[in-house]
Amino acid sequence: MMRNLLEALLGTLGVELDNSKIDAFIEKKMVNMNFYPTCPNPKFMVGVGRHSDMVLLQFYYKMELVAYM
């Protein structure tokens, strides 16, 4: 997925792509993907204070989770 996203973003900017450039982005941790699943029981959720991420571009993907208890 990350490779496809980089190809789309860099291709739109007119950057000529080859596998070595894309691999360099991914290997140097210039791109990082995190997944934070929804807490199934929000009353037990613990959060952190206000913070900021030093990123150029950030995507949030909302997943619908249905849990049966």
Please write the tens of the pLDDT for every residue from 39-55: 788 787 776 655 556 66
Tell me the one-letter amino acid at 62. Answer: K
- Residue pair 33/3 in contact by the 8 Å Cβ criterion: no
- Could you tell me the pLDDT band of residue 57, with boundaries at 50, 70 and 90? low
pTM of the predicted model, to two decimals?
0.35
**Long-range contact pairs involving 7-14 (C-beta distance under 8 Å, separation at least 24):** 9/57
Closest CA to 34 of 59, 52, 10, 57: 59
**Does residue 21 lie in a domain region?**
yes
Per the structure, the complete domain to which residue 34 belongs is given by: 1-42+55-69
**Does residue 4 lie in a domain region?**
yes
User: 7-11, 23-27, 62-66: lowest mean pLDDT where?
Assistant: 62-66
- Residue pair 4/22 in contact by the 8 Å Cβ criterion: no
**Does residue 49 lie in a domain region?**
no
**Does residue 48 lie in a domain region?**
no
pLDDT of the residue at 30: 58
**Does residue 69 lie in a domain region?**
yes
Considering its fold, how many domains does the chain have in total? 1
**Does residue 14 lie in a domain region?**
yes
Q: For the segment 14-30, what is each residue's pLDDT rounded down to a tens digit? A: 877 777 777 776 666 65
